[in-house]
């Protein structure tokens, strides 16, 4: 999937973490003093992201998922990565507004703030044509991928605004919001109507967060995490498994890089973890001038 994901810009392609986005070296200390809230953090990309923020010096990390056992495993990995990083968790179904609200409130109660919120929880069922699709499963893609992301956005926004103000006063960057999208949001693949339309909507949600709250200091990004061979990714047709060549640490490092403030100018946009960040920065002026990496209907005339 990563080779597909890089077709939109002619950037150098990465499949694993590299120096510019390494939380153990280049980005070490970039998350110092920050509290991170992560949904879907029990395994795969979410777990790797939690570990990366710990490596980058996060003050505290609050993780949620539906499995307490898996959350305990992630908590252990966080403590191994950085014994100084505080960690707490709550079992949470992101499709339940009350559970998401309770988790965010508990995070603030325990750690005092939220500086980064990452809506990582996702769902992808076996691909099938619309006329043969399972109605409950089709809609569950939207429930988890979009509604779940919206709930995190809705309840985290006030705390992220406060973070943005606090960090701005200190000359640093806060108030970052990460929405996990997919290159599928830009594609039209037979049988993938539920997943790809829900991820396309995630991109648009990201744009609306920027329109509604950019002036409040919120920096929101919709990211393609790469083609990672997670349980979710392997629900794609077997012929597409050849594209699952990326390590979860790639997206994790890219997210930490985004939340370091180095790409605040790109808020409200779709970005791919596979893209080389040095080359992305070099394209900054063109991206802003031509309003690139957003969903638009293009017509002639």
Catalytic site residues? 195, 199
Let me know: does 244 contact 229? Beta carbons within 8 Å. Answer: yes
Token pair 């779940």 is found at 148
Distances (CA, A) of 63 to 36, 51, 99, 171, 257: 8, 11, 13, 28, 19
> Residue 57: left (phi > 0), alpha (psi -120 to 50), or beta?
left
Let me know: does 256 contact 23? Beta carbons within 8 Å. Answer: yes
CB burial readout 222-253, b (16+ within 10 A) else e = bbbbbbbbbebbeebeeebeebbbbbbbbbbb
Helices (H), 82-147: 97-111, 135-142
End-to-end CA distance of the chain: give it in Å, rounded. 34
Let me know: does 223 contact 229? Beta carbons within 8 Å. Answer: no
Whole-angstrom distance, CA of residue 35 vs CA of residue 254: 18
């Amino acid at each position: 999937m990563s080779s597909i994901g890089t077709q939109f810009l002619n950037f150098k392609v990465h499949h694993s973490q590299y120096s510019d986005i390494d939380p153990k070296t280049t980005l070490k200390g970039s998350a110092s003093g920050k509290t991170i809230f992560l949904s879907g953090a029990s395994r795969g990309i979410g777990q790797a992201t939690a570990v990366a923020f710990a490596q980058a010096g996060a003050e505290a990390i609050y993780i949620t998922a539906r499995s307490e056992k898996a959350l305990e495993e992630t908590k252990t990995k966080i403590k191994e990565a950085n014994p100084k990083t505080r960690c707490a968790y709550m079992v949470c179904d992101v499709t339940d507004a009350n559970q998401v609200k309770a988790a965010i409130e508990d995070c603030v109660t325990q750690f005092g703030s939220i500086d980064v919120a990452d809506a990582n929880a996702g769902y992808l069922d076996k691909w099938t044509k619309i006329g043969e699709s399972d109605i409950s499963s089709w809609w569950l893609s939207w429930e988890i991928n979009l509604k779940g992301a919206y709930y995190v956005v809705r309840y985290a926004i006030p705390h992220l605004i406060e973070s943005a103000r606090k960090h701005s006063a200190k000359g640093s960057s806060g108030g970052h919001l990460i929405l996990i999208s997919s290159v599928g949001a830009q594609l039209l693949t037979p049988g993938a109507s539920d997943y790809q339309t829900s991820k396309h909507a995630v991109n648009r949600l990201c744009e609306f967060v920027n329109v509604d709250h950019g002036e409040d200091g919120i920096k929101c990004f919709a990211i393609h995490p790469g083609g990672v061979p997670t349980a979710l990714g392997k629900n794609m047709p077997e012929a597409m498994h050849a594209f699952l060549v990326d390590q979860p640490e790639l997206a994790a490092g890219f997210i930490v890089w985004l939340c370091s403030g180095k790409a605040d100018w790109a808020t409200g946009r779709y970005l791919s973890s596979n893209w080389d960040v040095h080359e992305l920065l070099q394209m900054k002026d063109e991206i802003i001038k031509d309003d690139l990496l957003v969903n638009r209907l293009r017509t002639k005339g």
